[in-house]
Amino acid sequence: MTQKRMTETSAEDLLKTAAVWQDEGRKVALATVIKTWGSSPRQAGSMMIIDQNMTMLGSVSGGCIEGAVIQEALEIMNHGKAGILEFGVGDEQAWDVGLACGGTIQVYVERLEKA
């Protein structure tokens, strides 16, 4: 798995990179933080792109839930149906993936289609 973290990458740069990846024949998914409550490592609007080889760029959580987001992205790249993931300290899955910051986060994950 190739992991590349550039948490300060702009949304425009992420989408340009996603287009390049698609031109190279890769499947690409986009994860976007759509809502947060309380303490969360990234604010709404934060984005991450993922390809079918689990190469990623950007960040939706500072690392604490990204493994679960990548797994969901891989599934969405195959079946195409977008989904919303929610993690919070009261959620057993959040503890499993490491979200112990005291907040809740919702992430929308979608497959990007080549225009």
pTM to 2 decimal places: 0.82
Q: What is the pLDDT of residue 97?
A: 52
Please identify every stretch of the chain with a pLDDT value under 70, giving residue numbers as ranges. 1-8, 62-63, 89-102
Q: Which domain holds residue 55?
A: 11-112
- The overall average pLDDT reported for the chain is 83
Q: Which two tokens stand for residue 79?
A: 């079946």
Cβ atoms within 10 A of the Cβ of 67, count? 15
Structural domains counted in the chain: 1
Q: What is the pLDDT of residue 94?
A: 47
Q: Is residue 94 part of a domain?
A: yes
98 domain residue, yes or no: yes
**Pairing between strand 47-51 and 28-37?**
antiparallel
AA identity, residue 49: I
Residue 49 lies in a domain: yes
- 18, 35, 73, 98, 103 from 92: Cα distances, Å: 32, 19, 20, 10, 13
Model pLDDT, residue 66: 87
In a domain, 38, yes or no: yes
pLDDT computed for residue 42 by the predictor: 81
Query: Looking at the domain assignment, is residue 85 inside a domain?
Result: yes
| C-beta separation of 87 from 109 below 8 A | no
Q: Is residue 1 part of a domain?
A: no
In a domain, 79, yes or no: yes
